[in-house]
Each structure stands twice: as structure tokens, then as C-alpha cells.
Amino acid sequence: MAKYSDELDTVFIALADPTRRSIIRLLSAGPAPVGTLAEPFDITLPSFMKHIRSLERAGIIHTWKAGRVRTCELDRTRLSLVDDWLADERARWNARTDRLEQLVTSPEESS
């Protein structure tokens, strides 16, 4: 568990907000300018930029500026951290349920 601690916490904190999860969904189609990403949301641009900065600090997205346009891109490798953690947890719980199944289905020893 220690191998994930701080990095995973940072990613989960960023993913905890529904607006940020929506931004990630939009970016799954490819890079997009901040203005385009902000259109579907009923919030001010400065508030929207707080979400962008939060995702960027977590390493989930990268941004760059060309002229007056800031573009965002999803960093799928950072999201693989969550995928790896979930795979480890899934394996742990599968092992636990396998042991439980063995206990429930094994014939009792006579005393």
C-alpha cells in the first residue's frame, strides 16, 4: 500500500470532483483548448481554471500555451496509477473470497 500513498491520494483528490471527472471525459477524445472545455459548464472561467490547475498538479493533464490559447491534454499514464491500485485491490479481494469459498465448501473435519 505504501507504494501508492501520496501519489494515489493526489490523483483521487483530483478525481473526487464531478467537474474534473467531466473534464477528463472530454479530454479522452483528445487535446482541447480551455475555452472549448469550459463551454458546457455553468461556472466562471477563473473557477474553471482552478479545476484545470488541480488536474495539472495531480499530473492527470498537461497544458501548454500557444499564443493566447491554452490547450489541455490527458496524461493517461498518470491514470494508470489508479488502474494499478485497483488491480492490486481486486487481486487481494479475490484471494480473500477464494479462501472464504474454501472454508464454506470444504467438508468439516470430524472431531
CA atoms within 13 A on the CB side of 83: 5
Say whether domain 5-105 belongs to CATH 3.40.50.1110: no
Per-residue pLDDT at 71 exceeds 80:
yes
With a cut of 80, say whether residue 32 has pLDDT above it.
Answer: yes
CA atoms within 13 A on the CB side of 78: 20
Q: What is the pLDDT of residue 104?
A: 73
pTM: 0.75
Q: Where are the domains of the chain?
A: 5-105
More confident residue, 88 or 80: 80
Average pLDDT estimate for 13-41 = 96
